[in-house]
Amino acid sequence: MEVRINKYLALCGVASRRKSDELLLSGGVRINGRPAKLGDTVNIEKDIVTYKGEQLTPDNKFEYYAVNKPLGVISTAKDEFGRKNVVDMVRSDHQLFPIGRLDQNSTGLILLTNDGDLALKLTHPRYHLPKVYEVTTEEPVTDGQLEKLSAGVSIYSKKTLPADAERIGYNSFMITIFQGMKRQLREMCKSVGLTVLTLHRTEIGPIKLGNLKIGSSRPLTKEEVMMLKSE
């Protein structure tokens, strides 16, 4: 059976298929001793694939975790500055990576896995996976601002998709968004004159944070994984 090299790397749990392309460009991946290129194929039964000298084999045991990310922890797969990373919060024999991101100054739910195909699917713009956040702001929130956020606002010269914003308190609200632009909610709030104080994610698609304590993690149930795959 032959598969493209980026899919093979995802099957091995090295990275998502999108991130695998970056690994290929870095030159650290080899097929039968020669540097691998974008578009190469791998014969799973015959070819030997290595990354930084270590042989890679497809990982049939996928793992899925929900993490309640604390403030100050980053959610990128790798960091050259040695900052605390969300992937270090889960003990696993597999190389886990986050599905999507949650910036350093935000808290709450983030998912970790070694299932590259699922990670790629859930982060692809076409799927519009809903994500729910609780937001507190420096300024009081007006009904007009909530209406603008719900209708979509212009950030990065592009209008955001319609959202669902609902007041919690005089300077707090809950919002559901359906895309994952960089620092999207902070920029959305800025565009309507609001300064974010805290940003806490409580839901990703069918997965809810529930009573999971800050800094803790739990494996997803089989039912939750099935629901994610059916999104």
- Give the CATH number of the domain where residue 166 resides: 3.30.70.1560
- Give the CATH number of the domain where residue 43 resides: 3.10.290.10
Number of domains in the chain: 3
Burial bucket for residue 213 (CB in 10 Å: 0-12, 13-18, 19+): exposed
- Asked about 21 being catalytic, the answer comes back as no
Q: Are residues 23 and 11 in the same domain?
A: yes
Q: How far apart are CA 141 and CA 149, in angstroms?
A: 11
pLDDT tens profile 109-163? 999 999 888 898 898 888 889 999 999 999 999 999 999 999 999 999 999 999 9
Catalytic residue among 40, 47, 103, 117: 103
pLDDT tens profile 55-86? 887 755 789 999 999 999 999 866 677 788 99
- Residue 101's domain spans which residues? 64-125+207-229
Select from 50, 51, 103, 58 the least CA-distant residue to 79: 103
Q: Are residues 212 and 103 in the same domain?
A: yes
- Residue ending a domain, among 56, 79, 100, is 56
